[in-house]
Amino acid sequence: MKYFKPTIYQKTIFDIPYKKLKKENIKLLLFDLDNTIIPFYDEIVPLKTKEKFMDLKKDFTVVIFSNSRKKRVKKIASQLDVFYLSFAKKPLPFSFKKILKEYDVRKDEIVIIGDQLFTDILGGNKFNIKTVLVEPLAIKELFITKFNRFLEKICFKKLSKKYGFEKGKYYE
Ligand SMILES: [Mg+2]
Q: Would you place residue 50 in the very low, low, confident or very high pLDDT band (cuts 50, 70, 90)?
A: very high
CA 42 / ligand 1 centre spacing (Å)? 13
C-alpha torsion angle, residues 114, 141, 51, 107 (rounded to 10): 20
pLDDT at 166 over 90: no
pLDDT of residue 5: 93
Task: Give distance in angstroms: CA of 93 to centre of ligand 1.
Answer: 17
Average pLDDT value over all residues in the chain: 93
Supply the pLDDT for residue 165. Answer: 81
Cα–ligand 1 centroid distance for 111 (angstroms): 15
CA of 36 to the centre of ligand 1 (A): 5
Residue 145 or 102, more confident = 102
The rounded Å distance from CA 26 to ligand 1 centre is 22
* Structural domain spans, the chain: 2-140
Distance from C-alpha of 136 to C-alpha of 124, rounded to nearest angstrom: 17
The dihedrals phi and psi of 92, each to the nearest 5 degrees, come to: -65, 155
65: three-class secondary structure by DSSP = strand
CATH architecture type of domain 2-140: 3-Layer(aba) Sandwich (3.40)
17-41 residues labelled b (16+ CB within 10 A) or e (exposed)? ebeebeeeebbbbbbbbbbbbbebe
Q: Are 62 and 31 in contact (CB under 8 A)?
A: yes
Per residue, what are the HEC states of 88-156?
CCCCCCHHHHHHHHHHCCCHHHEEEEECCHHHHHHHHHHCCCEEEEECCCCCCCCHHHHHHHHHHHHHH
